[in-house]
Amino acid sequence: MANTMINIGRLIKQADSSLTRQMNDLARQNDLTGTQMNVIDFLSRQENVAADQQAIEHEFNIRRSTTTIVLQRMEKRDLIQRIVDPDDRRKRQVQLTPVAQELVPVVHDYIQKQERRLTSRFTNQELATVARVLRYIKEDE
């Protein structure tokens, strides 16, 4: 029996590209980017609907410079505001504006539908295996 090589890295990249493209298509309908939708979703799920920049960097596994650019663009679009952290006046919290708050239901609905679409074809055991593999890859940097 021939040993068939599966290129997991390529499959993950292709899956990521497909998911990103789908999210960007919906985001464009709301004059956003997929990344901005993800940030809105993340912040909407935080206590006080706010988080510091480091939490955003950690959540999306992106560099500080990338996060800064994303947040600056969102601030210019009146999607976020930066407020003084009540616990540490040297830090700033990133908080959704009312403009972004109006988009939260659209973002949550899309993400929930995508999750159902992605998970409906698999058993809980298969999903646990996929999650374990992806966590391993993510942490193996």
- Is the pLDDT at 129 greater than 60, yes or no? yes
* pLDDT tens-digit map of 29-83: 989 999 999 999 999 999 888 899 999 999 998 999 999 999 999 999 999 999 8
Alpha-carbon distance 44 to 22, whole Å? 21
Q: Which of 61, 91, 92 lies closest to 75, judged by CA?
A: 92
Distance in angstroms (rounded) separating the CA atoms of residues 14 and 10:
6
| Mean pLDDT of the 96-116 span | 95
Q: What is the CATH number of the domain that holds 126?
A: 1.10.10.10
In this structure, is residue 23 part of a structural domain? no
Residue 84 in any domain: the answer is: yes
Structural domain includes residue 134: yes
Question: Where residue 2 falls among pLDDT bands split at 50, 70, 90?
Answer: very low
Among 2-11, 14-23, 28-37, 55-64, which is the least confidently predicted range?
2-11
pLDDT at 4: 63
Q: Please check the confidence at residue 1 and state whether its pLDDT lies above 50.
A: no
Instruction: Print the domain residue range for 119.
Output: 33-139
The length of the chain is 141
Contacts of 98 (CB under 8 A, 6+ apart): none
Q: Is residue 7 part of a domain?
A: no
C-alpha to C-alpha distance for 39 and 27, rounded to whole angstroms: 12
Q: Is residue 37 part of a domain?
A: yes
Instruction: Quote the number of domains for the chain.
Output: 1
Q: Note whether residue 25 is domain-resident.
A: no
Report residue 94's pLDDT band, with 50, 70 and 90 as the boundaries: very high
In a domain, 2, yes or no: no
